[in-house]
Chain A
């Protein structure tokens, strides 16, 4: 072996470049998907018109020729908020999934496993059927309730896990248990619900969807998700070290229990602020990080941004397909993500030689 330290460093830098290329590639795919999604639909303005509308609305001082009012309505009021919401939701859910999988050292972790999704569903159902809401801020009856119940679930999981020393297993088991509890409560509400309309509304909410996206919702959701993602990114080294085990993390100077608690809060905030608006969108937070792991490895400094891009891409692509496939009606995004994502994921799983996670 005649490698020198310079060769080694070169090898490492080459690997780094490859990772940046992957990020660049997914970003490009994402931009293309946005443009395609903007210009396809029941009424189809051309891509040029779509871009024109966006510039017209975002840079009013540029004196762009005003596009037709119809195009403005379609692009600016209907399609763009939905696309932006898809991007935010995909990004936030995937980032949350990636960090919690890493910290809890478990490839199966998602917002379902941690009980958050079911808690949101319960909060929403409670508001839909009985009009009971603990946080009916300015008409956000269902949304506020779903959000608050996510936080309640997190606190319960935290308190249970703390008794058992905040081990990874205790968090996961407490999360699963709390999730089942809230699922049972959702069923109970559906069972006792006085009207079938209410039951249908719950079912619809649980399926999740992006059709309700508005600029107003985005203004609430975006800052929370953005801050949470940035704070998760800042934890990247801690998470790397923690995925080698708690003792190792401590010996490398990481306060593992504190990192776990901080990230539970971040993950819940991000997930809750998304699914409160969209309803339960599952699967992205589980699968997008795994696809990212296969493409870019497990260093969270790259994995988190890669998951963010991948989640945004997956959700937007799925929602676009869902919008187009059975026009004039549409398929809920949750169904499409699974139908398209699972085969792709299985393909990667079978084809890739390199394992992206271990069962231990």
Chain B
């Protein structure tokens, strides 16, 4: 299934968030959306998933306008992993993953649903948590549960909003390897927003760099991540070197911020009333 985004613009309360976004994603691709806070990364994901309403013919699946699909059908095609997961009333891990079957079930859970959920939990290594309460889990475990829920939807397109940003390094790698594997199976495509440029560089097939709601650059990581683009988009200087597999590695240069450090330290040294 091919996702096409066609001249997508989105405004919230009159403020434009996304401007003229064009993108097309094929099965088997892992696309990372990067950009500073407020550049429209999450909004783009939410538009794709119809959490935010878009104009006609701006999001297409295999050439068909998604505005014409009903919301249930759409939820069988796309899975969404939000940035933070709330659970006002705790459910067991099994129940949370089972919610991913919502697009397919009416009332009772069939053997088939049970089997899918059990297999996905086993695959992601969360089977031992099955009967634990979701809010009691660590951040990394919760993230895997939510990814499992999205996979239980059997989507062709998986959308993730910062899946790795609140995790420790091991869980980050685990999650990204899972995503990589999902894309590599050629069964689905993965679109994820990311803050960590080095992780995005290491794992994505293609990167989309947003600046103030517009596409600044798009393409292979080595073409997108340059000293120039990072300075333009993020407003910082960075060294770009290359890893053994030829992916760019970003090292920000912090010298520019030394002024800031000394300003803060001087402020607290001088101000009598703020002294401890």
Contacts and interface: CB of A to CB of B under 8 A. Distances in A.
Do the two shown chains form a genuine complex with each other?
Answer: yes
Nearest to A300: B89
A3 interface: yes
B105 A357 contact: no
B182 to A, nearest CB: 17
A8 B127 contact: yes
B51 interface: yes
Contacts of B74: 253
A245 to B, nearest CB: 5
Interface in B65-100: 71-76, 78-80, 82, 85-92, 94-96, 99-100
Contacts of A358: 86-90, 135
A6 B102 CA distance: 22
Interface residues of B, number: 46
A102 interface: yes
B71 A357 contact: no
Contacts of B78: 251
Given A12-B94, A240-B99, A293 B71 contact: no
Nearest to B104: A253
B80 A253 contact: no
A245 B139 CA distance: 17
A327 B102 CA distance: 53
A298 B121 CA distance: 20
Interface centre among B71, B74, B85, B103 (most CB of A within 10 A): B71
Contacts of B90: 298, 354-358
Contact of A107 (B88, B119, B122): B88
Interface centre among B91, B114, B118, B122 (most CB of A within 10 A): B118
B79 A251 contact: yes
Contact of A243 (B89, B103, B105): B89
Nearest to A1: B128
Given A9-B115, A240-B95, A360-B86, A301 B130 contact: no
A12 B130 contact: yes
Contact of A105 (B86, B105, B131): B86
A324 to B, nearest CB: 36
B193 interface: no
A355 B135 contact: yes
A42 interface: no
A306 B27 CA distance: 45
B102 A253 contact: yes
Contact of A247 (B46, B71, B131, B133): B46
Given A3-B128, A8-B122, A243 B49 contact: no
A294 to B, nearest CB: 11
B91 A299 contact: yes
B121 A247 contact: no
B58 interface: no
A301 B92 CA distance: 14
A359 to B, nearest CB: 9
Contacts of B50: 250
A9 B87 contact: no
Contact of A5 (B106, B122, B133): B122
A102 B86 CA distance: 13
B115 A357 contact: no
B118 A5 contact: yes
A240 B96 CA distance: 9
A348 B124 CA distance: 35
Contact of A8 (B99, B107, B121): B121
Interface centre among A1, A101, A247, A301 (most CB of B within 10 A): A247
B80 A247 contact: yes
A237 interface: yes
Contact of B131 (A4, A5, A11, A248): A11
B143 interface: no
B99 A241 contact: yes
Interface in A231-265: 234, 236-237, 240-241, 243-245, 247-248, 250-255
A135 B75 CA distance: 45
Nearest to A293: B89
A233 to B, nearest CB: 9
Given A102-B89, A360-B88, A244 B131 contact: no
Contacts of B96: 244
Contacts of B49: 250-251
Interface in A100-136: 101-102, 105-107
Interface string A287-322: 000000100011101000000000000000000000
A15 interface: yes
A107 B89 CA distance: 8
B39 interface: no
B119 A5 contact: yes
Interface in A259-285: none
Contacts of B133: 354-355
A244 B78 CA distance: 17
Contact of A301 (B51, B94, B107, B128): B107
A298 B89 contact: yes
A138 to B, nearest CB: 39
B163 to A, nearest CB: 14
* The 8 nearest A-B residue pairs measured at CB: A253-B75, A105-B88, A251-B80, A5-B118, A253-B72, A298-B89, A8-B118, A253-B103
Given A244-B87, A247-B46, 10 more contacts: A4-B122, A8-B121, A12-B130, A243-B88, A244-B96, A247-B51, A247-B82, A251-B80, A254-B71, A354-B90
11 contacts: A8-B94, A236-B107, A244-B87, A245-B86, A247-B51, A251-B80, A252-B99, A252-B153, A299-B95, A357-B90, A358-B87
